[in-house]
Structure 1
Amino acid sequence: MTDAHQDAAPAPDTTALRADCGDCFALCCVALPFSASADFAVDKPAGRPCGNLREDFRCGIHTRLRDSGFPGCTVYDCFGAGQKVSQVTFGGRSWRQAPGARRMFDVFPVMRQLHELLWYLTAVLGMAPARPVHAAARALRDEIEAVTLRDAEVLLGTDVAALRGRTGELLLRASELARVGATPGRGRKHRGADLLGAGLARADLHGADLRGACLIAADLSGADLRLADLLGADLRDADLSGADLTGSIFLTQPQLQQAKGDAATRVPSGLHRPAHWKT
């Protein structure tokens, strides 16, 4: 594998897997609980609207969430589950209108998990080296998509763990295929490793396995993370200044939002540099 861009397949359309708050009834601001911490300024139980939520379902402090003590809101991504539940499952009726609001709140986290699986499977279809598993990934993606179009009762009865297990097997195989030509970092296996605060500045992690690794506050400035598998890696407060994440595998926007970076950080195609990073 000589170049991540040469090996990239045409990027599948992920529009439906991106949050569209304009078509959602602020489900993440109501259905989910949060506790007073470094991420949230106050406690809020599940099912209770956030105190910053306006009548039009918009956030009253959206442009200053971090400065107001709600950075946790800026790193959350529903992968498009909010609008699916709002507009498809409940036919455009908000939790203020629908008599079964509780059911809407119960469905939302299930849908979010399903849409996350759809996002990962769609990512596999954009990886040219993973063509041997494209057919299986497409079939599973279609199966999960069909479930997301069913009614609330079917969604709540879905065995998400089983679907996650099947998806995980495909993602692992796709990762191995994509990283087969990466050197020398491919031999470095840090799956699930505790790298809290680790000094990895300018480290050669090209093609490394960092699945589920704890990289909280790690110094990854200037690190070569091309083709590194970052599925589930905890990048909270990790320093990615000047790091090269080109072609990194299964990296999500929420992971980038949790990290620190700058104008020199190279992010994968399809993701964007967070607004709070240094310019």
Structure 2
Amino acid sequence: MEMNSEEDPSPMSLLDLPQSILDFILKCLSPKDLLTMSKVCVFLKRKCQSDRFWENHIKEKWGRVISDAVYKEWKWHIEIAKDGVLMKNNQTASMGSFIGDWPNVCLCSYLQDCNFLTAQKSNNFMMSLYFSLQTGSFWFPAQVYKGMMIHNALVNYDSRSNTFQARYVQNGDWKLIGKKIEWDMVRAPSVHTSPYLLYVSQSIQNLKPEDHIEIQWRPNAQSPYDWFYGVIGHLDSCNEDCCQCHYNGKKIVDY
């Protein structure tokens, strides 16, 4: 019987791949597949929980509706969890971040269930943020279209209906703006100013007739500002055949 003198090559392991190729493969995986891959071994667990892979998934799915304020608020929740405050106080309910003085208090974010932030999850910033958004545990600041108004609100995601629900806090009370809000009705806040502060645009002098703008409005000094649409119009004295309105310091807004 003739023997094969050449030994069969040993099978290649995923871990034998060059680092750049392995990273490319992991970058192409879905969140579900990343979780599955993380159970293979300790090395892949660390790799699959890396912020850079989960940051891509956050930007791809949530980039349109979250702003830098969301990352800042999630960092606040992470730091609270790492400090062990929740464990020391045996806190198992909800936790929110507030700014301002009463009655001008703004609820910045809201974690519905503090048990969500286990020690392991608090060590993986982007991955824990992704799943806090995906499961609807994290209420985050955003803006919601309703008619001609744009409301500053806290929203959370319902994966079953692929929609959002939104609430805002006024004088200590939660008020529902709506449920089953579609994706195209939610956006990241257009400015970084607190809803209780007047935003001063640097572009006012450059506005001209027919420009579409958004204007802050609130019913009283104790309420946060919302936004509504307007269009720059012509001054009463304008000769539209030779319009000079954009050179005037006064602006007419049509609602």
Give the TM-score of the pair, scaled to structure 1. 0.22
Give the TM-score of the pair, scaled to structure 2.
Answer: 0.23
